[in-house]
């Protein structure tokens, strides 16, 4: 088979540790299924600021652009938190999304059986929760014009939120496509009773819906959605929303599953290109100690195989291996809940590797 090129960005904190396990899984899958992967490492985030003076060096962008997909660990940490904007890890994150055209962020929020007690929600409310937030990632208030100016009321700051019809169309289509492969329910979230961008959003989603007569569409106001996620999480299938609302709601949705340390995510652009990363952060407090749970990153790799390369069987094999290892009672400390003996990052990685 053709060699697939993967840019690997370990990043900061626990990033390098969890990415290392995911890479091993990738190569194992290659052996077992006869696929060939070539990985190229690049600096990004805090470590790139330290070593190259910028969170997103030009070489890193080139490595990503010549690859078929990107695997990202995590970026950021207190060390860089008070830096000026251009020297902060999240500036790199926004830059890479825009430069690679990653307009859509998929965040599955599912409840892992072994973690269902970890949620702060009652188990009967959580039962059956399996939703996917599709967040627009390169538009809206994140990327609109920003400035300060002097007014009679003192200094004023301005952010601009803009969306054009084409931007809404492509994310809406993608959300409908995803819904078609799932339970065929789509909740489009906006604030159409207040915002002009939301009214354009809603009109456009309604127009695209005509192409998907089988999908049951509901429009939910963002404040109401924040409530309904708590009241009836299992009733959602796919949620599609703009960048800022998606930032908030995808974190709320992830947290309510109780499984945030195990969740994978994909950021997709045109075609099959994608960037894959765990939902959890760089966890600087436990970095370098071999305590991190590599499962979210390993599952992000499975998403990559399925969504970018179309290697569904291999993705299934990884997901099955993870389930098997968890079913057998193996745990890293974050999910041990004091009951099981806690494995190290590499021990967990190895068990999953062997289960493939």
Ligand X SMILES: CC(C)[C@H](C(=O)O)[C@@H](O)C(=O)O
Site residues (CB under 6 A) for ligand X? Answer: 90, 93-94, 193-194, 223, 247
- Range in contact with a copy of itself (rule: CB under 8 A) among 26-34, 35-43, 103-111, 145-153: 145-153
Q: Using the rule CB under 8 A, is 147 a contact of a copy of itself?
A: yes
Q: Give the DSSP per-residue string, 186-233.
A: EEEEE-TTT-HHHHHHHHHHHHHHTT-TTSEEEEEEHHHHHHHHHH-G
Query: 334 an active-site residue?
Result: no
For residue 1, what are the contacts with CB-CB under 8 A and spacing of at least 6? Answer: 34, 35, 36
Shortest distance in whole angstroms from residue 166 CB to ligand X: 21
User: CA-CA distance, 38 to 27, in Å (whole number)?
Assistant: 9
Give 343's DSSP letter. Answer: E
Q: Are 355 and 318 a contacting pair, CB within 8 Å?
A: no
Least gap, CB of 259 to ligand X (angstroms): 17
- If one asks whether residue 355 binds a copy of itself (CB under 8 A), the answer comes out as no
- 1 lines the binding site for a copy of itself (CB under 8 A): no
Q: Which of 70, 100, 121, 187 binds a copy of itself (CB under 8 A)?
A: 121
Q: For strands 331-332 and 342-343, give the pairing.
A: parallel
Q: Give the Cα separation of 316 and 164 in Å (integer).
A: 37
CB-based burial label for 328 (10 Å; 0-12, 13-18, 19+): exposed
> Which entry of 247, 273, 311, 334 is annotated as an active-site residue?
247
Choosing from 4, 12, 142, 276, which is the catalytic residue?
A: 142
Q: What is the enclosing helix (H) or strand (E) of 135?
A: strand 130-136
Identity of the residue, 117 or 223, whose beta carbon is nearer to ligand X in the bound complex: 223
Is 17 part of any known ligand binding site?
no
213 is in an annotated binding site: no
Q: Is 282 assigned a ligand-binding role in the annotation?
A: yes
Q: Which of 3, 36, 224, 289 touches a copy of itself (CB under 8 A)? A: 224
Based on the shown chain and the rule CB under 8 A, indicate whether residue 159 belongs to the binding site for a copy of itself. yes
Would you tell me which residues interact with a copy of itself (CB under 8 A)? 88, 90, 94, 120-122, 125, 141-142, 144, 146-148, 151, 153-167, 191, 193-197, 199-201, 222-224, 226-227, 230-231, 244-245, 247-252, 254-256, 260
């Amino acid at each position: 088979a053709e060699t697939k090129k993967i840019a690997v960005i370990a990043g900061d904190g626990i990033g390098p540790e969890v990415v290392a396990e995911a890479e091993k899984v990738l190569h194992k899958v290659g052996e077992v299924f006869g696929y060939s992967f070539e990985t190229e490492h690049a600096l990004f985030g805090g470590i790139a600021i330290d070593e190259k003076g910028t969170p997103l060096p030009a070489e890193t962008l080139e490595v990503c652009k010549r690859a078929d997909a990107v695997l990202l660990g995590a970026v950021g940490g207190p060390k860089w938190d008070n830096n000026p904007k251009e020297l902060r890890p999240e500036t790199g994150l926004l830059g890479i999304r825009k430069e690679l055209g990653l307009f859509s962020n998929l965040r599955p929020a599912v409840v892992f059986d072994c973690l269902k007690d970890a949620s702060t929600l009652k188990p009967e409310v959580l039962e059956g929760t399996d939703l996917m937030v599709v967040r627009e990632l390169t538009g809206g208030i994140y990327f609109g014009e920003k400035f300060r100016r002097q007014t009679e009321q003192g200094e004023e700051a301005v952010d601009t939120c803009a969306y054009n019809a084409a931007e809404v169309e492509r994310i809406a289509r993608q959300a409908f496509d995803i819904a078609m492969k799932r339970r065929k329910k789509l909740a489009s979230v906006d604030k159409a009773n207040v915002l002009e961008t939301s009214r354009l959003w809603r009109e456009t989603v309604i127009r695209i819906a005509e192409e998907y007569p089988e999908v049951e569409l509901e429009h939910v106001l963002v404040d109401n959605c924040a409530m309904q996620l708590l009241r009836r999480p299992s009733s959602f299938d796919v949620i599609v929303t703009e960048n800022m609302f998606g930032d908030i709601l995808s974190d709320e949705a992830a947290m309510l599953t109780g499984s945030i340390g195990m969740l994978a995510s994909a950021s997709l652009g045109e075609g099959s290109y994608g960037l894959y990363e765990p939902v959890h952060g760089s966890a600087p407090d436990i970095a370098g100690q071999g305590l991190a749970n590599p499962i979210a990153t390993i599952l992000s790799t499975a998403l990559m195989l399925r969504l970018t390369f179309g290697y569904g069987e291999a993705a299934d094999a990884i997901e099955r291996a993870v389930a098997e290892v968890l079913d057998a009672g193996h745990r890293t400390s974050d999910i041990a809940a004091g009951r099981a003996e806690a494995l190290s990052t590499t021990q967990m990685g190895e068990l999953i590797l062997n289960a493939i």
